[in-house]
Amino acid sequence: MGGTVLVVEDDMDLIGIYKEILELHAFDVETAMNGEEGVQKFIEHKPSLVIMDGDMPILDGYQAFKQIKSIDANANVVIVTGFSEFEPKSQEAIKEGLIKVISKPLGVDELLALAKKYTEIKIE
């Protein structure tokens, strides 16, 4: 069994695709439709990885990322965006602990590689 992945995305079709792919590979998946809901789901489920759209209503991915990091400094968050990873707000978020900014579309292989990498059970 994999770990829990939280997908925060305002496009229902993309949520469905990500969820189906991840569940086929034994990951537990929680979903949220905006950044505010994403922060609440993060608090409730404490996922191993958050995959979040950068541009959403109510609270965008960058604002939600900052709130999640203030709740858990070790949170693993990836932002998927239609903009360049070299945008100033993307670079600022990376300095603040964002794992990665991925330009859309997020491919299946990259989605699974991220999920596997950040949901491994770490034995200390």
Task: Quick: pLDDT tens for 72-94.
Answer: 999 999 999 887 777 888 889 99
pTM beyond cutoff 0.95: no
CA–CA dist 64, 36 (Å, integer): 7
Burial (CB < 10 A; 0-12, 13-18, 19+), residue 18, is buried
Confidence of residue 104 (pLDDT cuts 50, 70, 90): confident
Instruction: Identify whether the C-beta of residue 112 lies closer than 8 Å to the C-beta of residue 21.
Output: yes
- Answer positive or negative: Cα dihedral of 31, 76, 25, 101: positive
